[in-house]
Amino acid sequence: MNIYDIAELAGVSIATVSRVVNDSPRVSEKTKMKVRAVMEENNYTPNVFARGLGLDSMQTIGIICPDVADMYMANAVACLEHRLRGYGYDCILYCSGYQQKKKENAVDLIMKKRIDALVLVGSTYADVGTAGSGCEYIRKASAKIPVFLINGEVEGDNIYCVYSQDEQAAYEAVSELIASGRQRILFLTDSDTYSVMKKMAGYERALKENGLPVLGELKLCLKNQIQYVRDILLSRRTLVFDSVLATDDGLAVGAVKYAHAKGLSIPEDLAVIGYNNSEYAICCEPELTSVDNTGEKLCSMTIDNLMKVVKGEKIPAKIPVECTLVKRCTTDF
């Protein structure tokens, strides 16, 4: 059932049917009704491929993230998808993994689908951080369509970034730890992405401003797996620390488990701060104090901006968003 069939059944031309489909004002109410009736009857749906061919758009946005199974990304994708629907857009999802080659491949492949814009979720898509991160593939994509980074930062025309102020958030978290008497604060992470660099910078700034030394032994980069973190901490018998700032809630839970295993009480003997304010934080016993990087806000802002750009409006290329520290039971301030 195509536009010709409808036209014939309704006794009009395909041009008129097309106008009705697109709700053009240049059609009389009478014929509009008539055509609509025929369309209903035959439950006609315009062919999106043909329409795409003509308009060079299928109202589709590409979303790439390293891994949707990750809770943070899953939340982000859920939020993005929901908001895009609100604007009548569909989304194509691509999980790229974290390797440079795979990320490039992902962008390459998704671009072939002639999406209207591209959203990249996560700080793995950033100019700095991980060693040797070329972001040319992102700039290349931005030559064709607008690219939006969530929690990433890449310089370039037609590239727009919304990111949380991780430096400041880490600074404030560590400052509170110090103010409550902590001296040896373990910085626990699982990668060296852009956002981790920012968190570390905030951590160091707080130490320095309070006259505390920045010690290499108090920075640990581990695989993000609860038992693994616990076991590694248990095995580092000479490592002394009275508190932890983790760059992810999963790592923080590992630290909490370590405390349990070692018989330390929380927060008295060990204070722990996580990051992302995920469901881990509430699942954890005791419940985890965690930095909320307002993922939903980042996502909804991004989509709102995306729609503006698609409509030709101008928006700022970089928008930092504040984090908030959600205090629960693993800290005593």
Partner DNA sequence: TTGTAGGCGTTATCAC
Partner DNA sequence: GTGATAACGCCTACAA
Binding-site ranges for DNA (CB under 7 A): 2-4, 11-16, 18-19, 21-22, 25-28, 30-32, 44-47, 49-51, 53-55
Contact present, 255 and 280 (Cβ < 8 Å): no
Contact present, 160 and 309 (Cβ < 8 Å): yes
- With binding defined as CB under 8 A, does residue 284 bind a second copy? yes
Burial of 332 (0-12, 13-18, 19+ CB in 10 A): middle
* Binding pattern for the stretch 205-234 against a second copy, x by CB under 8 A and - elsewhere: ---------------------xx-------
Contact present, 125 and 138 (Cβ < 8 Å): yes
**Minimum gap (Å) between residue 235 Cβ and a second copy:** 19
DSSP per residue over 291-323, as a string? EE--HHHHHHHHHHHHHHHHTT----SEEEE--
Nearer to DNA, 26 or 311 (CB): 26
- Answer for which of 21, 95, 128, 319 binds a second copy (CB under 8 A) is 95
Nearer to a second copy, 117 or 200 (CB): 117
**Minimum gap (Å) between residue 200 Cβ and a second copy:** 25
**Minimum gap (Å) between residue 61 Cβ and DNA:** 19
User: From CA 312, how far away is CA 57, in angstroms rounded?
Assistant: 15
Q: Pick the stretch among 21-29, 232-240, 278-286, 299-307 that binds a second copy (CB under 8 A).
A: 278-286
Q: What is the largest CA-CA distance in the chain?
A: 87
- With binding defined as CB under 8 A, does residue 82 bind a second copy? yes
**Minimum gap (Å) between residue 3 Cβ and DNA:** 3
Q: Pick the stretch among 20-28, 71-79, 125-133, 268-276 that binds a second copy (CB under 8 A).
A: 71-79
Chain residues 107-136 in contact with a second copy, contact rule CB under 8 A? 109-114
Name the binder of 15 from DNA, a second copy, none, CB < 5-8 A by kind. Answer: DNA
CB proximity list for 289: less than 8 A, separation 6 or greater: 271, 272, 273, 274, 281, 325, 326, 327, 328, 329, 330, 331
Residue 181, helix vs strand vs coil: coil
Name the binder of 16 from a second copy, DNA, none, CB < 5-8 A by kind. Answer: DNA
Nearer to a second copy, 79 or 233 (CB): 79
Question: 292 to each of 289, 295, 312, how far by Cα in Å?
Answer: 9, 8, 32
Q: How many CB atoms lie within 10 A of CB 237?
A: 7
- With binding defined as CB under 8 A, does residue 253 bind a second copy? yes
User: From CA 158, how far away is CA 177, in angstroms rounded?
Assistant: 40
Residues lying near a second copy in the complex (CB under 8 A): 45, 47-50, 52-53, 56, 58, 60, 63, 67-71, 74-75, 77-79, 81-82, 85, 90-95, 109-114, 226-227, 250, 253, 256-257, 260, 279-280, 282-285
